[in-house]
Structure 1
Amino acid sequence: MADFQSVFGATPTGVWAAPGRVNLIGEHTDYNDGFVLPVALPHAAKATARRRDDGVLRLFSEQGDGEVTELRVDGLAPGSVTGWAAYPAAVVWALREAGHDVGGADFHFDSDVPSGAGLSSSAALECVVATAYRDLYELELTGPELALIAQRAENAFVGVPCGVMDQMASMCCVEGAALFLDTRDLAHRHVPLDLAGQGLRLLVIDTRVKHDLGDGAYAELRAGCERAAELLGLRALRDLPPDRLPQALDRLPAELRPLVRHVVTEDVRVEQAVARLDAGDLAALGPILSAGHASLRDDYRVSCPETDLAVAAAVAAGALGARMTGGGFGGSVLALVEAGTLDHVAAAVTTAFSDAGYAAPRTFAATPAAGARRVG
């Protein structure tokens, strides 16, 4: 590994970290002004950085091609940077677009958030840059404000029309809790998630099926939801009361009905999950997770054979519930398991993948971790 000194020939100012995330429930509700319930992972993007006063941004990643990307901050514009470097460059651009007088920096990145696994590796990269820039340039910005900067970076510079959940999770989660977030106004609170205290674990199953949210399918889903809301005379699907769902579906074209049904029922599942956590009944999350996956598979249609198999195999092996997490079209599955069965469930999923002729999945236990921060 190349360290900051060997790459840039200078002494860094500090080290920052921003985590990836899994989402307990609330998939594809964030861009419908809905509710979500993410948890930060212990896996994080780390940035060693220093400020530069010559307007040059230099970027190096241990997961990259071994080359330093050098850019001028006054030349940054949507479409001007491609590949992984677009994400940190986008944040600098978004800060400047928001009126913050920021210049250059040197960044050395190292991340153990699996890329393309639906665990928000891109948001972790954006948020670690935003957090470092806040400190390097003494910006008076809150976590939610930085999350909005990072979201704009991904929307307008990178070109992915994501909601704000991933960035809010990376910026605002705390250790030992899930983040109950209203994506309309960013109101949020930390809901205790003491898994160990109840003998439970969260098992993450990375199917290793890569997804690319910039390939158009994600944007099409969002556009379908926005069209449905417009046809129903709503600001967003979040404003459709669950008891009016049947009548609303009758007013929509057939191709939009499953999207609306998923979003409305998923918001209900988030509220149900929060109620269970507040009551200390963590095991009751299991059926909610499984119901969420069925909706993502059958109504929203963003699952795939590998994620479906991971869910089915985990539940058959004793998981209390399981669902895909992330934007879909591959990625990871989250399973709620009793602590003593974690290895058994992981092995059962691996065996099922082998029997189906799929590449072996990566499995690991996740504990609720802290959000973006300076670590050195």
Structure 2
Amino acid sequence: MRVIEAFREAYGAAPQGVWHAPGRVNLIGEHTDYNDGFVLPFAVPWGVTAAVSPRADRSVRLLSLQAPGEPLLIEDLDRAQGWARYAVGVLWALREAGHDVGGADIVLDGDVPQGAGLSSSAALEVSVAVALDELYGLGLPRMDLALLAQRAENDFVGMPCGIMDQAASALSEEGKALFLDCRSLASRGIPLDLAAHGMQILIIDTGVHHELADGQYALRRADCERAAKHLGVASLRDVTDLAAALSRLSGDERKRTQHVVTENHRVEAVIGLLRAGAIGEIGALLNASHLSLRDQYEVSSPELDLAVEAAFRGGARGARMTGGGFGGSAIALVADEKAGSVRESVAAAYAERGWKAPRFLPATPAAGARRIA
């Protein structure tokens, strides 16, 4: 395992353990997590592997195989820069929560496709969190580790993400999607046996990331918070009469509310169909989700819209953007015999526009974070 060899070379000894945490793709339930709503992600086969040993002091030595160079020695966590903040932020969050966590030697190796919106940051955070939990004998529940990883990203890195990404990485089960109530944090696995139904979920990585994404994400969250305040509810998840709520709102707040409330209903509808074994019937709900994200939440992009439209023309049962938006990936629900025509349709549509060819990745529901060596 190359992460072990890199650890030996960098630090002169074998690591005490190796842990893996996956990225995720979200089947449905977009921008609902920070509105206390419902989400339905699943872990993907790609993720971040962390080889880790504890240190006697409180410093961190850190090396990423995706950022070649000498290991970083970080004695003051606040001085960490760039990608290193995601890793050391986990130590910061554990210490802030009162856990007796010392230093660590860490080597990271990731194979999550970069820029595809598959949450490599959460995979990095969770891989470090599960390693430190075991090495320091904390015995924390997986949801607690996910929450600490989220706090690292929110308060240390400065990205106001919801809990979905970290929870999916920490809690997912092979062959299942993870239904998560983002208010109560109750979760359960929902069988997603695509192969048994002759279906597959195809990730269409547009290869595009528009730089306005992070600022626009924060603006969308603020829109939702203002709308909830105007409606007198704790969050948009509490809206029970959508028509009455929309009559009291205007502009962006009205559109954001419409998306969040209807998206929560779509999550519940998808779960009902999956539990009934009607995987092929969820396509219409994926399509509706994309239109809502495009028109009401306004987080799509020309590349995502074209991927969705071309996938549907090529024979997909349904398709939608997935992730935060403004680029990244779409997903398409495809019968096995239509996979080739869907790929060809999307590739041809991109070529016609003169755009770089997208990348196609088959999404198989994978296991969550675990020790692998």
1:217-254 per-residue CA deviation (whole Å, 9 max, x = no partner) reads: 1111001100000000000000001xx11111111132
Given that 1:116 and 1:212 are in contact with CA atoms closer than 8 Å, whether structure 2 keeps it comes out as: no
Q: Which amino acid aligns with 1:28?
A: H
Q: Distance in 1 between matches of 2:340 and 2:10?
A: 40
Matched with 2:49 is: 46
Given that 1:33 and 1:182 are in contact with CA atoms closer than 8 Å, whether structure 2 keeps it comes out as: yes
Matched with 1:14 is: 17
In the TM superposition, 1:131-146 aligns within 5 A as: 131-146=130-145
Matched with 2:152 is: 153
Deviates more, 1:170-179 or 1:347-356: 347-356
Matched with 2:77 is: 76
Unaligned runs of 5+ in 1: none
Identity fraction in percent: 57
Matched with 1:106 is: 105
Q: Distance in 2 between matches of 1:320 and 1:103?
A: 51
1:19-59 per-residue CA deviation (whole Å, 9 max, x = no partner) reads: 00011100000000000000100111111111111222011
Do structure 1's residue 350 and structure 2's residue 353 form an aligned pair? no
Q: Distance in 2 between matches of 1:9 and 1:214?
A: 41
CA RMSD of aligned residues (A): 1.2
Q: Which amino acid aligns with 1:152?
A: R
Deviates more, 1:319-328 or 1:63-72: 63-72
Q: Distance in 2 between matches of 1:315 and 1:291?
A: 13
Do structure 1's residue 289 and structure 2's residue 271 form an aligned pair? no
Q: Distance in 1 between matches of 2:83 and 2:362?
A: 27
TM-score by length of 2: 0.97
Q: Which amino acid aligns with 2:62?
A: L
Q: Which amino acid aligns with 1:314?
A: A
2:306 is matched with which residue: 309, 323, 338? 309
Matched with 1:119 is: 118
Do structure 1's residue 56 and structure 2's residue 53 form an aligned pair? no
Structure 1 residue 116 displacement after superposition: 2.1
Matched with 1:199 is: 198
Q: Which amino acid aligns with 2:330?
A: V
Q: Distance in 2 between matches of 1:42 and 1:332?
A: 16
1:211 to 1:131, Cα distance in 2 relative to 1, 3 A: farther
Given that 2:213 and 2:325 are in contact with CA atoms closer than 8 Å, whether structure 1 keeps it comes out as: no
Q: Which amino acid aligns with 1:231?
A: H
Do structure 1's residue 367 and structure 2's residue 364 form an aligned pair? yes
Q: Distance in 1 between matches of 2:337 and 2:69?
A: 42
Structure 1 residue 81 displacement after superposition: 2.2
Given that 1:213 and 1:327 are in contact with CA atoms closer than 8 Å, whether structure 2 keeps it comes out as: no
Given that 1:20 and 1:41 are in contact with CA atoms closer than 8 Å, whether structure 2 keeps it comes out as: yes
Q: Distance in 1 between matches of 2:212 and 2:18?
A: 29
Q: Distance in 1 between matches of 2:59 and 2:134?
A: 18
Q: Distance in 2 between matches of 1:358 and 1:194?
A: 34
Given that 2:19 and 2:131 are in contact with CA atoms closer than 8 Å, whether structure 1 keeps it comes out as: yes
1:36 is matched with which residue: 23, 34, 39? 39
Given that 1:116 and 1:211 are in contact with CA atoms closer than 8 Å, whether structure 2 keeps it comes out as: no
Q: Which amino acid aligns with 2:352?
A: D
Q: Which amino acid aligns with 1:220?
A: L
Unaligned runs of 5+ in 2: none
1:333 is matched with which residue: 326, 330, 333? 330
Given that 1:322 and 1:333 are in contact with CA atoms closer than 8 Å, whether structure 2 keeps it comes out as: yes
In the TM superposition, 1:239-258 aligns within 5 A as: 239-241=238-240, 244-258=241-255
Structure 1 residue 66 displacement after superposition: 2.2
1:159 to 1:52, Cα distance in 2 relative to 1, 3 A: same
- In the TM superposition, structure 1's runs of 4+ consecutive aligned residues that sit over 6 Å from their partners are none
Structure 1 residue 331 displacement after superposition: 0.6
Do structure 1's residue 267 and structure 2's residue 261 form an aligned pair? no
Structure 1 residue 215 displacement after superposition: 3.3
Residue 166 of structure 2 aligns to a residue whose secondary structure is helix
Structure 1 residue 351 displacement after superposition: 1.8
Structure 1 residue 214 displacement after superposition: 7.2
TM-score by length of 1: 0.96
Q: Distance in 1 between matches of 2:367 and 2:212?
A: 26
Residue 202 of structure 1 aligns to a residue whose secondary structure is strand
Structure 1 residue 357 displacement after superposition: 1.3
Residue 365 of structure 1 aligns to a residue whose secondary structure is strand
